[in-house]
Amino acid sequence: MTTQSLSGRSPQEHYETLYSALLEADMYNIAQADKEALLLPLFKLLHDWHLTRSVHYHRLFGHTESPEEALAELPYLAVRLFKQLALKSISEDQLFRVLQSSGTTAQVPARVFLDKDTSARQSKALVRIMQHFIGKQRLPMLIIDSPAVMDKSEFSARAAGIQGMAFFGRKPVYALNNDMSLNEEAICAFAKQHNNTPVLLFGFTFMVWLHFVKALQRRNLKIALPKGVLVHSGGWKKLSEQQVDNSTFKQTLKSLCGLSHIYNFYGMAEQVGSVFVECEAGHLHAPLLADIVIRDPISLAPLPIGKVGLIQVLSVIPTSYPGHSILTEDKGQVLGVDDCSCGRKGQYFAVLGRLPKTEIRGCSDTGDKA
C-alpha cells in the first residue's frame, strides 16, 4: 500500500514538499485545528511509508488504516519496542548512525536507526525550535557534562543532545572533568570572561543538578552569569527522589549563578529533534512538527484536556525508522489548547513522571494492534 499523490509525485517527494513547508512556518503560531489539518497528510504518508519499508511496522499495523480525520487515529508503537526490535525502514547501506539511549545499566538500550536524511532533519528541526527561545546568535557555551561523553564509540543520546545544542554555541567549555568532578578552573575562567554578555549553558537535568549545582554548593562557590540562558532536558525522576522540583531547580540556579532564563524541554531519544520546550508560564509546548495525545493507561482511549494519562508523542521527522508515533511510559496531561498566557498556539501540557512498572504491564506492547 503506497500513497501516490494526484500530481504523480512519489510519496517521498510529496513528504519532502509538505515537510519543508512546515519547517519554514512559525513553530508556535498556528492554531491547533489548522495544525492538525497540516499534519494529517504527513502522518498518512509516514504511516504508509513505514508499512512498505519496516517489516515490524507492517506486521503490527498492516491492517490498520491510515488516519482520516484526527491525529489520535494514528497507530503507535510502545516505546520499549525500540529496545526489543531493530525498527528500521532503510537498508543496511543507507544506515548512517545508530543512536543508543542512555538507559540504566540494568536495561537493554533502545536503538534508533538513522540515515543521513533523518539525521539532518533532526538537527534542522532542533535549530528551528530552539532559535525561537534562545535566538539565532551563536553564544559562548558552557556544556554541563564531561568531554568524555563525546568519546564513546557508541553514539549515546547524551552525546547526540550535546552535539545538537552545540550548533547554538561557540567556543564550548566543559564544566566537568572526565571523572564528573567540577572543573572549577574552567568554570571560573568562563564566568570571568562572560559575566556581562549573553552565554548559553546546556546539560541534562540530573547532570546539572547532581554534578554542577551540588558541587558548587559543596564548595561554597557562586558564579555570576546574569545574561546566561540555561537549556536542560531529561527526566525529573532522579531529582524527584531528592525532592527537587522545577521551581526549586530554577531558584537554586538563580541564586548560585544569577541565571533567570532557564528552559527545560521534554524529548525522547526515539524522536530526537522534535522537542517540547517549556515556556515562560512553565508549560511544555508542542511545536508545529510534533504533537501529543494523552491516552488512558488501561483502555488506551484518547483523553480530553485535564485528564492524566500516558503521553503519546508524534513527530513528522523520522523516515529511516518507524518512530513518528510512540506511546511513552510517561504520565502527563494536556493543560490547554491555543490559549497559553505566553501567546503560543497549539497544545500545551505537563509531564507528571513515569508510570510505575506494575501499571505498565496492563497496557499492550504494540498499541492498537488491529
| Binding region for Zn ion (CB under 5 A) | 279, 281, 283, 340, 342, 344
| Secondary structure letter of residue 265 according to DSSP | E
Work out the angle between the directed axes of helices 157-165 and 116-134 (0-180°, nearest 10).
60
Residue 282 C-beta: closest distance to Zn ion, Å = 8
Nearer to Zn ion, 34 or 339 (CB): 339
Strands (E), the chain: 77-78, 97-100, 111-114, 139-143, 169-174, 199-204, 228-233, 261-266, 276-278, 284-285, 290-295, 309-315, 325-337, 347-354
Nearer to Zn ion, 43 or 265 (CB): 265
- For strands 261-266 and 228-233, give the pairing: parallel
Distance CA 21, CA 34 (A): 14
Nearer to Zn ion, 139 or 277 (CB): 277
Residue 28 C-beta: closest distance to Zn ion, Å = 9
Residue 285 C-beta: closest distance to Zn ion, Å = 6
Residue 284 C-beta: closest distance to Zn ion, Å = 8
Residue 51 C-beta: closest distance to Zn ion, Å = 36
Residue 255 C-beta: closest distance to Zn ion, Å = 25
Q: Please give the distance of CA 299 from its chain centroid, rounded to a whole number.
A: 26
Residue 316 C-beta: closest distance to Zn ion, Å = 21
Residue type, 110: A
104: Cβ contacts below 8 Å, ≥ 6 apart: none
Distance CA 234, CA 299 (A): 28
Cell numbers representing residue 66 in the block? 491510515
Nearer to Zn ion, 22 or 277 (CB): 277
Looking at the DSSP assignment, which residues form a beta bridge with residue 97?
A: 114
Nearer to Zn ion, 283 or 324 (CB): 283
Nearer to Zn ion, 256 or 279 (CB): 279
Nearer to Zn ion, 27 or 340 (CB): 340
Cell numbers representing residue 188 in the block? 571560573
